[in-house]
Amino acid sequence: MSVAGKTAVITGSNSGIGLGIAREMAKAGVNVVLNSYTDRDEDHALAAEISKTFNVNAKYISADMSKGDECRRLITDAGGCDILINNAGIQHVAGIEEFPAGKWDAIIAINMSSAFHTMAAAVPGMRAKGWGRIVNIASAHGLTASPYKSAYVAAKHGVVGMTKVVALETAQEPITCNAICPGYVLTPLVEEQIPDTMKEYDMSREDVVKNVLLKRQPSKEFATVEQMGGTALFLCSDAAAQITGTTISVDGGWTAL
């Protein structure tokens, strides 16, 4: 079965990996719902541009993924979805003793709890239609840890665990739930942590990229947003119908070390 004509809701998709996945999905004929909490003219323009370029229905729905009721409203306002990509995420880098409690709460809410709410809202519609694909964008940090990222690592491990639970709850239905675990992808989220990491390690930008960010990525290359989109599309294909409750690492060998 082709994914063309299906509808995908992609949380946090006006930038980076989410936008890359939205474009790859649209290229494959999937109707896409873009999301962020910003509600700017350019967010709506992005949806219009994708719609025009790929000849699919594309719309932008503003909803704040730090709030459970907004996560659920996103699914309702989208009119349900066949494909749910939980991608919204933020990062903060600090040692445990200085880690601001507000940042902890925000990261747990946006990076982890949002997936609980959107999945809870989307699964009944998938069950009714008899088809569904859930792809949670976790991280290599859902499988391993790094210093200074307590909230992010906790949230991403939580997403991997929740992915397995939803897969088991839907195992006997034509619904799958998996997580993609990217290594480093050069997006605004990664760009923003370079200055803090430069300070933390007293290093130049070039050294942070080479010796900190890509230190654990044996390929020594960033993964791309297009590769994330391609992996998500594979998980939506018939070939992946028996792949559920697992993780696919797209990390240049990071988790093989």
Q: Which positions touch ligand NAD (CB under 6 A)?
A: 12-18, 35-37, 64-66, 87-90, 110-111, 137, 139, 182, 184-185, 187-190
The residue (of 64 and 82) whose beta carbon lies closer to ligand NAD is 64
The residue (of 148 and 184) whose beta carbon lies closer to ligand NAD is 184
Q: Provide the minimum distance between the beta carbon of 29 and ligand NAD in the complex, in angstroms, as a whole number.
A: 23
Residue 172 CA: distances (Å) to CA of 77, 82, 194, 242:
28, 17, 44, 10
Q: Provide the minimum distance between the beta carbon of 72 and ligand NAD in the complex, in angstroms, as a whole number.
A: 13
Residues paired with 31 in a beta bridge = 7
Record the tokens describing residue 215, joined without a space.
């230190």
The residue (of 2 and 219) whose beta carbon lies closer to ligand NAD is 219
Q: Provide the minimum distance between the beta carbon of 245 and ligand NAD in the complex, in angstroms, as a whole number.
A: 19
Q: Provide the minimum distance between the beta carbon of 24 and ligand NAD in the complex, in angstroms, as a whole number.
A: 13
Buried b (16+ CB within 10 A) or exposed e, 186-200: ebebbeebbeebeeb
Is residue 88 within 8 Å of 65, Cβ to Cβ?
yes
Calpha distance 122→82 (Å, rounded): 8
- Nearest Cα neighbor of 136 from 117, 110, 159 is 159
Pairing verdict, β 31-36 and 58-62 = parallel
Record the tokens describing residue 167, joined without a space.
């897969």
The residue (of 26 and 110) whose beta carbon lies closer to ligand NAD is 110
The residue (of 5 and 195) whose beta carbon lies closer to ligand NAD is 195
Q: Provide the minimum distance between the beta carbon of 235 and ligand NAD in the complex, in angstroms, as a whole number.
A: 15
The residue (of 43 and 82) whose beta carbon lies closer to ligand NAD is 43
Residue 166 CA to its chain's centroid (Å):
16
Calpha distance 51→58 (Å, rounded): 5
- Cα 37-40-46 angle, rounded to 5 deg: 100
Is residue 131 within 8 Å of 218, Cβ to Cβ?
no
Q: CA dihedral in degrees (133, 136, 139, 142; nearest 10)?
A: -110
Q: Is 152 tagged catalytic?
A: yes
State the catalytic residue, choosing from 60, 148, 152, 184.
152
Q: Provide the minimum distance between the beta carbon of 164 and ligand NAD in the complex, in angstroms, as a whole number.
A: 18
Residues carrying an active site annotation: 152
